[in-house]
Every structure is written in C-alpha cells, then in structure tokens.
Structure 1
C-alpha cells in the first residue's frame, strides 16, 4: 500500500491511485498541469482541509482491487495506443455531434439563459483545440516520442524538447477552458425545467471534462515524464 501524506504531490497520488482523479476533479484541484505540488498546498489554495482529502484518498486506496487496471504500468507503445483509442479517437466522433446539441440548446434557451452563449464559445474553442492537438500528436509527436524512447540520441533531443513544452502549454490552456466552463455552468447545474437536450449537453460536457483531465494526466505525468527522464539522462 502506498504511504500517501499531505506532502505527496497530487500528480503522484493520481498516478499511483487513478480513482483519486475523481476526488480532485470534483474539488477543482488540478492534477494534470498543476499536479506537481504537494496535496497540502493544492488543498489550501482551494480552501480545503488537506487532512480530510487525504482521509478520503486513503479510504479509496483501501477499497482498491488488488488487480486494478493501471495504464501507468503500460509500456511506451501500449500507453500511446491506449491514449489514442480511449481518448483521441472518440473525440473525433463525439465532439461534432455534441456541437450540434450545444447549438440547439443555445438557440432554444439562450434568451432566458444568456450564459449559454459563453458556454458555446468555450465549447467551440475547446473542441477546435482538442481536435487540432490530438491530430498533431497522432501524426507527428507520438511517433517522434516513441522513436526517441526506443532509441534515444542527442540528435533527437532538439526535436523532442520543444514538442513536449508546446503540448504541456496547450494542455494548460485546455484546463483553463474547462475550469471556466464549470464556473459558468455552476458546476453543470441544470436550471429548473431544463429539457432533455439541455440535460444531455450538460451531462456530456461534464463527461468531456472528466475524460480530458484523465487524458492530460496520462500524457503530462506519465508519458512526458518518461521522455523527460531520458532527456535528463542525456544532459
């Protein structure tokens, strides 16, 4: 059993105990781009008692199955394939469909709920960014990273380093969009009398948030960390 404390970094907790991601997401504690901070610091910044969060995490750990599914244990190529099949591929199918529902809700309910216009702006920006980002990863960055991890060389360092930095910056911007989306929807709280389509949109937006944070965590705190370790070894 992992000995978590309030001084353990948030990203390390989620890496060792993936179920804890849901705890942090609901508390709006960044475990992706901002996850390299101690639980104590992250909790206090959000106004929470770190000991109470630690207690909840330890309860999760005690109920964790002995053979828990853990993508962090995958080899490099398997991890990349898992990211692509679990997160990248579904986005290309789901985002265009969700865009239609968002437009419908804005057209029907926007006059009474003007915040929906900002929801639509945020969603469209997020959608464009995610689709462009994942396409670049699949076509260019992931093949380069796998080549580098399989056969690291000084010649590849200059190519790999800026790619990782750029992707982490894009991940950070994605996180900001998601946090604003949660803010403006009041934690995806439906107004009284919301129709079925309204409910569907908020439910799918919250699911998109959940999956995107999981997605970014696997890249930032597992895949990219492997790359950084190799980069460090060559310096």
Structure 2
C-alpha cells in the first residue's frame, strides 16, 4: 500500500483505503469532487489537525492489514469461530450499513445516465439483507451447535446439525451468485473514466466486500464445515 502522509491527496487516500470514506464523511472532508488536494489542506480547511486525521486513517489501515496477515486455517475450533465472527461478521455489520448511503447516492446521481447502477442498488439491498440474516443465524444458533458437536459428537447433535450446515452452504452459494452478477454488471468493478470520487469509492468497497465475503465463505465451507463433516 502507498505510504500515506498529510501531503497525500484525499482522493488518493480513498483509492488506497476505500473505508476511509466513512471518516472523511464524518469529518465533512470532501473526498469526491474536492478530493484532489492534500490531506493537510483539506483538514485545515475544516479547522482540523492534519496529523490527528492521518492517525485515524492509519488506524483504519492497520486494522485492514491485521486482518490480511493471519492464516486462520490452523486455529482451533473455538478460535476459528471467534476469528470468523470478529473479522467477518462484525465487519459486515459495520460495512453494509456504512456503504449503503454511498450506493444510494451514486444510483440517484448517476442512475439516469448509467441505469445499471439502479440494479447495483437492488443487488446490494438483497445481499445486505441476506448476509446480515445469515450471520445472525450463525452466531445465535449454528456456531454454538457446531462447537458443542465438535466437543461431543453425539448422534443427536449430528442429526440436528447436518441440515443446518447444508442450508448455510446453499446460502453461501446464493451470495456467490449475487456477487458474480455484481462483478459482471460493474465491468469487474472498473468505473468509467469520468467517474467521480464517490462512484470510484463505491466500486472499490464493493470489490473489497466481494473479496472479504469469498474469504469468509472459504473459511466456513472448506475449513469449519469440513471439520464437522469429518466428525460426522
């Protein structure tokens, strides 16, 4: 990742770290049309300390790097479940509501010229609902059952768990189909040359969402659920 400093343009920070848009929005720093200025200048225009703003950006960057640095496939059962919940489920609960207003804005502003953005908005709403309901069910019902079964694989728990795992895998497959359509209609998340900063940030964050979701599904389908199947 590019070394970020107070002299880095706001738009370049957003390109390198799409989640920084939430911070800029909160601080009322224009990262869209007015993003071609240094962070120092943008912060001072809002009477903010540029170094403090940069430190917040660095915290976002460190959090992302920390997530990407682990190999959780070797974790124990309880640690693996906790890792999935902390790094993917909690992240989805933060990212999906945070991203929603940007998608709504881009669809409203650019939807007439680029009608596929209206479909992007529809797909995102469907994906948001499905992922949030899915993760809530896992956290409240299925993951506790999995951990109990892996500790004590009784026939009763096996019969209770088998259809739940199958159902989750079907939901994962459906989420994958939604993401494939999203990638297809956004031209592999490549915005048009004249796209504004918000438009570009939306595409970058959708691509990151796709990456995180596929990593998330891989850990569940091919690691956690495999452990269940082996015990069954």
- The aligned counterpart of 1:6 is none
Q: Residue 165 of structure 1 corresponds to which residue in structure 2?
A: 166
Residues 1:97 and 2:112 aligned together: no
CA distance in 2, matches of 1:122, 1:219: 23
- Report whether the alignment pairs 1:226 with 2:227: yes
Aligned Cα root-mean-square deviation (Å): 0.9
Distance 1:222 1:127 in 2: 24
Query: CA 1:95/1:69 → structure 2, altered by over 3 Å: closer, same or farther?
Result: closer
TM-superposed CA distance for 1:157, in Å, is: 1.2
Aligned residues: 164
Unaligned runs of 5+ in 2: 1-68
The answer for the alignment partner of 2:114 in structure 1 is: 113
Residue pairs, 1:67-216, within 5 angstroms = 69-216=70-217
CA shift for structure 1 position 90: 1.1
Give the Å deviation of 1:192: 2.2
TM-score by length of structure 1 reads 0.69
Could you tell me how far 1:69 is from its partner in structure 2?
3.6
* Mapped partners of 1:127, 1:94: distance in 2: 10
Structure 1's consecutive aligned runs of 4 or more residues displaced over 2 angstroms after TM superposition are none
Deviation string, structure 1 residues 58-101 (Cα, Å, up to 9, x no partner): xxxxxxxxxx8421100000000000000000111110111110
In the alignment, structure 1 segments of 5+ residues that lack a partner are 1-67
**SS of match in other structure, 1:171:** helix
